[in-house]
Amino acid sequence: MASDLDKASDKAHGPLRSFGRIKARPIKPRQAALVDTLLPRIAVPDPANGPIDLAALMPGASEAWLEIGFGGGEHMAAQAARRPDVLVIGCEPFLNGVASALRHVEEQQLENVRIHADDARAVVDALPDASLDRVLILFPDPWQKARHNKRRLVQDETIAAFARVLKPGGRLRFVTDWADYADWALERLDRSEAFGRLDADQDWHVAPADHVVTRYEEKKLGDTAPIFLEYERR
């Protein structure tokens, strides 16, 4: 039976929540201060208020990337530091992760990061057609039990939504350390006419050249070495 939290989240975010816990341990005082001061300055406008204007978020940005579920923010911050010309939007509902990411943004003085501390699907729905150059999904909640598979982020509906917001030639990267989720994503992405897999003959355990290893990845919590799937918007 669904918990009250699940029911409340379903009302707020659609039929099913695709992520687990919202907060674990207490947030450190420094990071809590950043939630109060830095987050309001770099937060993505509330998607409930209407379409998101990417040009207003970072005038003159050469590209716009979306990272869904950035965890502690190490990968997002590293990518943003490498490409200060790119607007990097990160979505993460886990408050401890948001607080950690804010610390990275402050320490590296990143001016090209914008954060949505909630469900990424609301942001995707509010983005204009063909507005993103990249979508990055790294180690999403695997929802391993068969009865929970319907909660996985990667579904036919979300793949269609990613296709809508990606520019032709835009890239979608999916990374997981659970073999069953890799097969699940591969099946759904391959049957989408909007996407074509890149380097299909390459060992899927080989990380792309620009991949950044995170603390989560180093913990090796899944049942396989990380699997990398890279697709292009046709």
Can you count the helices (H) and strands (E) in the chain? Answer: 9, 7
Contact by Cβ (8 Å): 162, 228: no
The Cα–Cα gap between 206 and 19 comes to: 26
The Cα–Cα gap between 138 and 190 comes to: 18
Nearest to 175 by CA among 207, 150, 132: 207
Determine the 3-state secondary structure of 212 from DSSP.
Answer: coil
- 180 catalytic per annotation: no
Residues near 123 by Cβ (< 8 Å), separated by ≥ 6? 44, 47, 52, 66, 89, 91, 116
Token digits of residue 69: 């579920």
Catalytic residue, chosen from 141, 190, 199, 203, is 141
CA distance to 3, 50, 58, 61, 197, per residue, from 69 (Å): 22, 22, 21, 22, 22
The Cα–Cα gap between 129 and 116 comes to: 19
Catalytic residue numbers?
141
